[in-house]
Amino acid sequence: MKNTFSILLSFIFLVFMAACGNSGEKKDSGMMNTGDAAQKVYVAPGEYDEFYAFMSGGFSGQISVYGLPSGRLLKVVPVFSQDAEKGYGYNEETKPMLNTSYGFVPWDDAHHPELSQTDGVPDGRWIFINGNNTPRIARVDLTTFETTEIIEIPNSGGNHSSPFITENSEYVVAGTRFSVPFPQKDVPIDSYKENFKGALTYIKADEPGNMDVSFQILVPGYDYDLAHSGKGKSHGWTFFTTYNTEESHTLKEVNASQNDKDFIAAVNWKKAEEYLKQGKGKKMPANYMHNYYDEETHTATSTEKKEVTVLIPSECPGLIYYLPTPKSPHGVDVDPTGEYIVGNGKLSADLTVHSFDKMLTAIENEEFEGEVDGIPILKLDAVSAGTVSSGGLGPLHTEFDGKGNAYTTFFISSEVVKWKLGTWEVLDRAPCYYSVGHLMIPGGDSKSPWGKYLVALNKITKDRYLPTGPEMNHSAQLYDISGDKMELLLDFPTIGEPHYAQAIPADIVMKNSKKIYPIEENKHPHAVKNEKDVRVERDGNVVRVYITSIRSHFNPDNIEGIKVGDKVYFHLTNLEQDWDTPHGLSIMGARNAELLVMPGQTETLVWEPQKPGVYPFYCTDFCSALHQEMQGYIRVSPKGANVPIKWSLDGEE
Amino acid sequence: MNVRAKIIMSISALALLLLFVTPLWRITLEAPQYPDGVSMYIWINKITGDTPHTLQNINILNHYVGMKYIEPDSIPELKYFPFVIGTMSLLGLLVAWKGKRSWVLTWLILLVVLCGLGLYDFYLWEYDYGHNLDPKAPIKVPGMSYQPPLFGTKMLLNFKADSYPYWGGLWLSLSIILAALSWYLAGVYKKSK
């Protein structure tokens, strides 16, 4: 008996030890010096972060704005996806923003935020981002942090190598990741080599409201993966990576990985401008939308465009060259001087770096090894500046710190490698948790990076945070790169997928941030700027409610004479002119989202009442001490009833 | 009166005209949710704020406790004060030109009396705004009134109200001091003769 007891006891002890051992075995956090790191990322309550970081929401379709170094979420800016929280894409004013040649498309896959630049330096006026699925590029105004413009890209599929702006925001670019028939037509898929083409598109970007496809270059049907525009001496050129130069159309994971080398396409867009002036551009029919949100009317309009100008390389010598680059290059990154063009061969261990100067010489000496559809292929030896033997696997993207160093992410070996430009020697490496895609250094793809921090934008999360079921937010990791060694400081989850990001010193942006929309500048056709002018008007079955909000009431707040079958437009003007005093509006049973109206703004909610009764409506944004009282009623009478239109506030009409 | 006294008297008279270019008084409300504070400026002819919308924002706050809307158009003083100041400035120049010492004293006393009346009037308006509350006000605190101080700082519920002279107040004081100086110098001059 005693023996049995001691066996039992030792068994319990073993189980206990095992349990302890399990929980006690702490995973590797990646931190070197926790105390110091905490100090570096601590931003005291009420203090401001040093940088705004604009993170792509990836498949959320939005941009999320974070503060660095704290990793605090500041705002989610709705771009390509409807956002019920803000009424974006639900209210009448912003619905046209999501219009495409296919009609209303309420979602996209947002990939690369790109800040506007002046002389190669981010200037904080706008941030652009591409929609990959239904090819689009959006502009977000950084005085309001609102999406103000979206242009659709014709003749494109998978707008991935985009927007990658030029040095003075002349153009944003768009390359097709999935080549498609150009123009679209009904052909067998296995006629790929014959019928499928790629398009490299240049969109005029420097004037709000006037984004426009300036020209497209018709190129072989490869997959155009990423891009970067030249800077400094290489200003005037754009570099696009390609894969699938095999031109396969099925089981691409194998069939597009057969060629030892693919290409980086070097496009001389200044030359393109010359050819356009000479009339070399061919007008081709197309069908795409341009949507613009006017800040004074608070309303977006969608305009259809029917034509594009196309340049064909065989007719435009000197327009485009191919630089052979090993192993399906993914990212292509140009160093701050504009001399080095880094090809990140994603299926290899090494990075191939091309020299811009050598490229120009090779072009001059016609050191070609072949030609595709009139595009000369330069000899690799003639353009290569060097190779970085990294010791990692699966290089994807490179950014720069402005001190002569480059940082490259390796997806497969899950790390960031720091190396030196010119000598190509590896200086440091830091693990990422896990499988990093893009990386971001504030201004790290510009002429003057602010090389203090690096953010690794990871694709896989697994055990980094408290588990939240099968789906987890992707993680971003902040490193201090001010010293010789990279130091992991912070790890934070992001919305959707932090596909790519850009950051800029806060003082450049915050001084221009608007607090209100001046009501005297409101040119919305259905705005009501004075409580005396509120009214309800019927025209057939269309009823327009001209309603205002100010702390803490709607005017009117009692509405009668609405009938089943009516289409009721609530044009709500927020009369407030104080900072941070939005008012919301929601109506019981409205098959729609709320309105969230900023001070001085007008927005419209459409409601189609279905059943007679009296329905409450209320303010959704906790606006004041009497927010709970900010409510009203709408009476809905049966179809054909004789109840006259009537509106009032506190018994006064 | 000697020339120096006359010049100083003229400056005193002209200093009053500066009241047309700078506010006389400032009332600032401070609360945690108003990090920049809310400032209202009282001129001899208008009431303004930090932004064109400040008055609206103050009125929105005031309506919760039932205070009347501050509407500059309904305050008659803002219409006739400019004439009073303009007339005093003209009279002051006349006094300087005539150069009679007793006139300087009369003008000075008149100005001080007017200032006293102005302040009393300001107090009455503040009293009216602070005490004459709408009985239907949503927030009613028994025994509470919302009269801002004439000069100084006072807590009004969650707001700290600061009320102090602004640049215009300085010009007015300067005018009074200069007139007194002019009178004194004229006296010294008279004795020396």
The percent of residues above 90 in pLDDT, for chain A, comes to 90
Residues 16-75 of B with CB under 8 A from A: 51-53, 56-57, 60, 64
- The values of phi and psi at residue A258, to 5°, are -90, -40
A240: three-class secondary structure by DSSP: strand
**Tally of residues, chain B:** 193
Contacts of A455 (CB under 8 A, 6+ apart): A53, A68, A439, A440, A441, A476, A477, A478, A479, A498, A501, A503
Between strands A299-311 and A212-220, the pairing is: parallel
Residue A583 maps to a domain: yes
Cβ–Cβ gap A551/B60 under 8 Å: yes
Q: How far is the C-alpha of B70 from the C-alpha of B53, rounded, in Å? A: 13
Low-confidence residues of chain A: pLDDT under 50: 1-2, 11, 13-26
User: Cα B7 to the chain's mean position, in Å?
Assistant: 25
**What is the per-residue pLDDT for A348?**
85
Question: Cβ separation of A626 and B64 shorter than 8 Å?
Answer: yes
Q: Among A576, A578, A625, whose Cβ lies nearest the Cβ of B64? A: A625
Amino acid (1-letter code) at residue A300: A
CB contact under 8 A, A516 and B60: no
Chosen for mutation from B33, B54, B56 (greatest number of chain A CBs closer than 10 Å) is B56
CB of B153 less than 8 A from some CB of A: no
A181: alpha, beta or left? (left if phi > 0; alpha if psi -120 to 50): beta
Indicate yes or no: CB of B64 within 8 angstroms of CB of A516.
Answer: no
Asked whether the beta carbons of residue B57 and residue A626 sit closer than 8 angstroms, the reply is: no
Q: Do B139 and A625 touch (CB under 8 A)?
A: yes
CATH code for the domain of A524: 2.60.40.420
C-alpha of A322 from chain center:
28
- What confidence score (pLDDT) does residue A154 get? 96
Extents of the domains making up chain B: 3-192
Residue A451: burial class (beta carbons within 10 Å; 0-12, 13-18, 19+): buried
Q: Which tokens go with B109?
A: 């006393």
Residues of A in contact with B57 (CB under 8 A): 577-578
Q: What was the pLDDT predicted at A23?
A: 44
The predicted pLDDT at position A28 comes to 67
Contact B60 A625 (CB under 8 A): no
> Is A554 part of a structural domain of the chain?
yes
Number of domains in chain A: 1
Using a CB–CB cutoff of 8 Å, tell me whether A550 touches chain B.
yes
**Chain A residues close to B138, C-beta within 8 Å:** 625-626, 629
Residue B45: pLDDT band by 50, 70, 90 thresholds?
very high
The alpha carbon of residue A350 is apart from the nearest alpha carbon of chain B, in Å, by 54
Q: Cα A372 to chain center, whole Å?
A: 33
Q: What is the 3-state secondary structure (H, E, C) of A114-132?
A: EEEEECCEEEEEEEEEEEC
Given this model, what pLDDT does residue A34 score?
63
Predicted complex ipTM: 0.88
**What is the rounded CA–CA span in Å between residue A210 and residue A371?**
36
pLDDT in tens, B83-121: 999 999 999 999 999 989 999 999 999 999 999 999 999
Contact A376, A220 (CB under 8 A): no
**Cβ atoms within 10 Å of B42's Cβ, excluding its own:** 24
Contact list in B for residue A583 (CB cut-off 8 A) is none
Residue A530 in any domain: the answer is: yes
**Domain interval for residue A526:** 520-648
Closest CA to A165 of A224, A232, A115: A115
Beta strands in A168-275 (DSSP E): 171-176, 180-181, 196-204, 212-220, 223-229, 237-243, 261-268
Q: Which segments within chain B are labelled E, that is strand? A: 25-31, 34-42, 47-49, 152-156, 159-165
Q: Report yes or no on A602 lying in a domain.
A: yes
Q: Taking the C-alpha atoms of A358, A364, A370 and A371 in order, what is their torsion angle to the nearest 10 degrees?
A: 110
Residue B1's pLDDT band, with cuts at 50, 70 and 90, is confident
